[in-house]
Structures are given as C-alpha cells and as structure tokens.
Amino acid sequence: MIPEDDRRYRYATQSEIMNEIIVGLGGRVAEELVLGEISTGAGNDLERVSKTARKMVTEYGMSDLGPMTFGRSQEEQVFLGRDISRDRNYSEEVAAKIDEEVHKIVTAAHDTARQILCDNIDSLHKLAQTLKEQETVEGDELEALLADAAGESCDEAKAAQSAARPAGSEAQAPSAGDARGALAAIEERLKSGGKREPSPEGAPA
C-alpha cells in the first residue's frame, strides 16, 4: 500500500503543491483577517502544510537547495497502515538550511493566501453570512455570490464598515465557525489562483 500523501503527489508540479499549501493556510489567514486573532482550529492544517513543505525540500528537490533528496527513506509499520519516515544522513548545518527552506515556502504561501483573501474579503463575508442563514451554498448560488461581491480589499472593507457604523457602537465579529465555513466554500478559488469572474454589469473584479 502506498501512503496517502505519496499517492497524491506521485505526479504533481511545484505550483500544484504550492497551491495545496496556500489552500491549507486559508483557515489560519481567515482567522487573522476576520477575527483579528488566531486559534487552535488550524492545528491540523498547519501540521499538513509543514509536512508537505518539508517533502518539497527533502524529497522532491523543489527548493533553492537544488535537485537532490535529503535523508534515507525508511519504511515503518504503524498500527494497521504503513508510513514512510526519513532517516537523517546529513549534518546539523544542512538540517538548518532545510528548516530555512521550509520556512520560506510556508511564509510565501501564507503571504499569497493573505493577499487572495484580502482581495476577496467581501466574498468571504457574504459567504459567511449566507452560511449562517442556510448552512450550505452550492453551484450557481455560490457563483452568483462571488460574482456580486464588491471586490473591496481588506483596508477598504474596514474603512467602509467604520464609516457605516453608528458612533459608539462596536462591530460584531463573525465566529471562527463562520469564517471557516466560508473558507471551505472558496477553496477552489484559492486553488485556481483567486481569479474572479466579472460582475454581470462587466465591472472589473
């Protein structure tokens, strides 16, 4: 049996794997943008992201360290399945360089996810509100929501909300569940690079 992660990346390009990492960081970035703080909710996502980024460096040769692998593959029996571990055969200096490359990959993906969600923040809020009201959004309804979104950036959306808010009142922050539910609905947009279709009036996204 081939481990699940290896099956997924049996043939995948560097950009495809990077997009997977960007999507994986979407929940954490949504918390930062919408809630203004982070939680433990993204723990599993961060674990998978870190593991994938390390594979890019140590197994796939997709880093500035060049087209080479690091560590010897070692098959180990884990409960009823089978996992693949890496037996380290390199120096502490090389290990530090590997960690640096992993950090660069994850940081770049985080910045990209943040930019995509900032550029689509109105879509995120609209989806969160719709999901609160009806729990699911699919197909044409999802496309309509995304097409009709105002296309405001994070800063523009905050400025508009502040201007519309009565003096002395406080905005009600969406819950973590709302933000994560909306993220699930726009994961495909992240995978495709966050491109948006023009609105029905032909206005630019």
CATH of 12-164+177-195, one of 3.30.1020.10, 3.40.50.1820, 1.20.58.760, 3.40.47.10: 1.20.58.760
pLDDT of 146 above 60: yes
Q: Which of 195, 184, 25, 47 is nearest to 107 (CA)?
A: 25
112 contacts 192 by C-beta, under 8 angstroms: no
Q: What is the pLDDT of residues 164-192, one digit of tens each?
A: 445 544 444 444 455 555 555 555 554 55
Non-local CB neighbours of 193 within 8 Å, separated by 6+ positions: 19, 116
Q: Which amino acid is at 11?
A: Y
Integer Cα distance of 19 and 26 in angstroms:
11
Pairing of strands 72-78, 81-87: antiparallel
Of 15-29, 103-117, 119-133, the one with minimum mean pLDDT is 119-133
61 contacts 78 by C-beta, under 8 angstroms: no
- Indicate the domain borders of the chain: 12-164+177-195
Confidence of residue 133 (pLDDT cuts 50, 70, 90): confident
SS3 87: strand
Q: Which residues pair with 75 in a beta bridge?
A: 84
Of 25-34, 76-85, 101-110, 152-161, the one with minimum mean pLDDT is 76-85
Number of H-type helices and E-type strands within the chain: 10, 2
155 contacts 10 by C-beta, under 8 angstroms: no
pTM of the model: 0.68
Q: Note the residue count of the chain.
A: 205
| Token pair of 66 as six digits | 């060049």
CA distance from start to end of the chain: 45
Distances (CA, A) of 86 to 77, 90, 95, 100: 14, 11, 12, 18
Report CA 60 to chain centroid distance, whole Å. 21
The fraction of the chain above a pLDDT of 70, given in percent, is: 61
Dihedrals φ, ψ of 123, to 5°?
A: -60, -40
Integer Cα distance of 152 and 121 in angstroms:
7
Q: What is the pLDDT of residues 44-89, one digit of tens each?
A: 999 999 999 999 999 999 999 999 999 876 554 344 444 455 678 8
